Amino acid sequence: MDVVVVGAGVAGLACARALVDGGARVRVLERGRVPGGRLASKRYDGRYADMGAAYLVADDPGFTAQVASWQTRGLIRPWTDTLRVYPGGAPTTGPVRWAAPGGLRSLAADLADGLDVRCSQPVDRLPADADAVVLAVPGPQALRLDPPPAIAAAARAQVWHPVIAAVLRYPTREWDDLPGAFVNDHPVLATVCDDGDRRGDGAPVLVAHSTAALAARHLDDPGAAGPVLAAAVGELLGLSAPPVVDVHRWTYAQPDEATDARYAVDGDVWLCGDAFGRPRVQTAWLSGRAVAHALLG
């Protein structure tokens, strides 16, 4: 069986890995320069900062086993079960959040190892030279490929929100034990994470994610949102030194939580990703694996 997977994010890589393990021949086409999708890490001054997904949560047995494999090989570590909530800054506890010392994209690189992943390969139509095509992309991007009716309907049902991520590099660490925070009812800030704490190297780097409303206003000029986010973080945490600011625009950052279906299918075309369930890295991994298992039959 020959399969083309469009998209080398977590869903696409998990699908391709399971298909190859099951004996299928798989090509993964990725429009970006590197695999990973929203498992995104970028190098600044010799270290990587995570500017996409903030962390992983694992409570499914299959994904927990994957996380355990990464932990055994030193790719991931338990980070924290406590985050702050603003206004007020009170701590809230929850599940263990996992972080990657080498940046979360290192996990995507691990999934991609040994696969036929072809980067810088934009796709403008459904590939016709395969027994099956798996669209591991957000619904709005899948619609650009004129997919069959059931896939188009599932893609249109997805609701996505944009985010602008700001990597804030400070001269010193002025803040106390953070390690991250949810910011409620704020006009521009949604979350702030201490990247030095989650990566374990103590670097004076914070990563802020915007509200969808701020991102929507700045999609055409994301750089203009950087000073706004830096000022908001400084005010929130009482910081005096100005940071060096870099931003990244995520047009399709977070989907609304959807049904319990793991994927959509119409003939030999499949659609998967974290829009099929609670929007998490785990959901994307499970969705891609579910498609692979269905194809392998």
Question: Do the domains 161-254 and 2-53+104-158+258-296 match in fold?
Answer: no
pLDDT at res. 122: 94
CA-closest candidate to residue 50, choices 15, 119, 101, 109:
101
Indicate the domain borders of the chain.
2-53+104-158+258-296, 161-254
Q: What are the residues whose beta carbons fall under 8 Å from the beta carbon of 113, sequence distance 6 or more?
A: none
Cβ-based neighbour number of residue 109 at 10 Å:
18
CA-closest candidate to residue 242, choices 174, 164, 192:
174
pLDDT at res. 249: 97
pLDDT tens digits, residue range 166-180? 999 999 999 988 999
Written out in words, the top-level CATH class of the domain with range 161-254 is: alpha beta
pLDDT tens digits, residue range 21-62? 999 999 999 999 999 999 999 999 889 999 999 999 999 999
Whether residue 91 has a cis bond before it, omega within 30° of 0: no
pTM: 0.96
Give the model's confidence band at 258: pLDDT under 50 very low, under 70 low, under 90 confident, else very high: confident
pLDDT tens digits, residue range 276-293? 999 999 999 999 999 999
Which CATH architecture is the domain 2-53+104-158+258-296 placed in? 3-Layer(bba) Sandwich (3.50)
Q: Please state the rounded mean pLDDT for residues 229-258.
A: 96
What tokens were used for 276?
Answer: 């099929």
pLDDT tens digits, residue range 120-175? 999 999 999 999 999 999 999 999 999 999 999 999 999 999 999 999 999 999 99
Q: Please state the rounded mean pLDDT for residues 211-236.
A: 97
pLDDT mean across residues, the chain: 96
Per-residue pLDDT for 260 more than 80?
no
